Structure 1
Amino acid sequence: MPKSPSPHGLVVRDLHELRELADVSALFEKIWGSTPGSSPMGVEQMRALAHAGNYVAGAFKGGQLVGASVAFFAAPVGEVLHSHVTGALPGHRAGLALKLHQREWALERGLRRITWTFDPLVRRNAHFNLAKLGGRPVEYLTSFYGAMDDVINGGDDTDRALVAWELDHPAAIAASASHSAPVAIPADAVTVLSVRDDGLPAVGRDDATTVFVEVPPDIEALRRIDPGAAKAWRLAMREVLGGLLAEGARVTGFHDRASYVVTRDTTA
């Protein structure tokens, strides 16, 4: 795939060379706060994936690597790309540039969907994945990666939401044009999970068709300063969002940069 220019002075391109892949591994270590040699993706893994025709790309600004993404083909065969790791330094908008490049790459190969996982407690990632890109969480995965002791995860359980990004959906098309698709919210929507004044989670009534599931403002800081509160949030999000998805409810958006919008299927 040719180099993809960005309006923010970024160039996104496929990567194959060992030197470049070593730079990606080092960048991931920096972003995740991993110990040396414990990058989320090793050079050998990326080399093998790239050589086999999978997606390994980097975002450069002024010749400097500021973001990278690694993805591989997934089931159903010929339809899905699974984006395993994407990391970007703040202040460059490299995360968005990489996702849009990844979407073009997938469409050129006839794929219809990109999936990835993210921590549903990280508010900025939820806003990016849902409001900016138009992806939708479709499954709640409890302790998906087991224990991870890097700076970002801080020893917390690695619960993840699996996002499905339908590449021809109007929300994804809007994202490719740098627009966010509006979310319709009924007047009788209620908040089922919210942030109390002391920062702890509060679970409320959940009998409405559409509910808000609020995300704590900064779970990563909370893990450092109050691990007990962070654990309470993990369990509350697992119970509420995990329970809603398990019963067949749909996440339809992310409201006010703070809350998942979840709608139950009333036709069942």
Structure 2
Amino acid sequence: MTGAVLRELHLIEEFEDVFRLFDDIWRPDPGSAPVTVEMMRALSHAGNYVAGAYDGDRLVGASVAFLGAPPGQVLHSHVTGASIGRGIGFALKLHQRAWALERGLERITWTYDPLVRRNAHFNLAKLGARPEEYLPSFYGAMDDAINAGDESDRVLAVWRLSEPHVLAAARRRPHPPRVPSGAVAALSDRDGRPVLGRADARTVLVAVPEDIEGLRRTDPGAAKAWRHAVRDVLGGLLSEGASITGFHRGSCYVVERTT
């Protein structure tokens, strides 16, 4: 579908291209790149995953991942980025999934900002991954052009590669989340601000802002309010043993309580 060619990377010149691609995407401060050329070289040489997507001779996407614990079960995807659309990100994840399955791995994990709607939709709705842990200020202070001025809360997404809903997503037939009529809104968006609600039902909805990256620039106070509200509500539910089962209508997490 993408028209791109995906392959593993092994050469210094290829890693230099990946470094420049990521630099163009995230525009980090000097010394704060998500991954260095030397680290990619070491990871690739040690049998980890470094792959690129090419449109002709031009690198348009790349992904870097390393084997995690328990040994022989998990691949942790550290960073994935694409400079164009056309399904490059989805194609990279499918390539990564095939790579992991060929090596007998059961799941792929990665972290992402739970406030970014498009990432939540991509990870949950399109791929079938599920956030299983809330990680406050995971990377400490970040000064790149995308995250500057905000705290680096993340959730750990777990992609269980052979689950039925993941298989359906890989065939581009994802299952929409089930939202029963008795679901309640624990966090809602009202005029761009978070509004607390109830969290005492079996199924709980947790909204995230329409454009957190825009809010960081135009209304830092609202962005901070969203960060702390989602940390308290979504993080609190996960710490109590609740499970996130989907992302509803591109705007809110569907959370199932056990009691």
For Structure 1 versus Structure 2, the TM-score category normalised by the shorter chain is: over 0.9
Equivalent pair of 2:97/2:161 in contact (CA under 8 Å): yes
> Where in structure 2 are the equivalents of 1:122-133 lying within 5 Å?
122-133=116-127
Report the alpha carbon displacement of residue 96 of structure 1 after superposing the two structures with TM.
Answer: 0.3
TM-score, structure 1 as length reference: 0.95
The counterpart of 1:159, out of the listed 143, 153, 177, is 153
The one-character-per-residue Cα deviations of 1:156-189 (angstroms, maximum 9, x if unpaired) are: 1100000010000112111211121121111100
TM-score, structure 2 as length reference: 0.98
Stretches of structure 2 lacking an aligned partner (at least 5 in a row): none
Stretches of structure 1 lacking an aligned partner (at least 5 in a row): 1-6
The counterpart of 2:229, out of the listed 222, 227, 236, is 236
SS at match of 1:131: helix
SS at match of 1:242: helix
> Where in structure 2 are the equivalents of 1:212-231 lying within 5 Å?
212-231=205-224
Report the alpha carbon displacement of residue 36 of structure 1 after superposing the two structures with TM.
Answer: 5.0
Equivalent pair of 2:29/2:143 in contact (CA under 8 Å): no
> Where in structure 2 are the equivalents of 1:111-260 lying within 5 Å?
111-197=105-191, 199-260=192-253
CA distance in 1, matches of 2:149, 2:39: 24
Q: Which moved more, 1:169-178 or 1:125-134?
A: 169-178
SS at match of 1:121: coil
Equivalent pair of 2:204/2:256 in contact (CA under 8 Å): yes
CA distance in 2, matches of 1:146, 1:182: 34
1:25 aligns with 2:19: yes
Give the AA of the match of 1:252.
Answer: T
SS at match of 1:165: strand
CA distance in 1, matches of 2:120, 2:142: 20
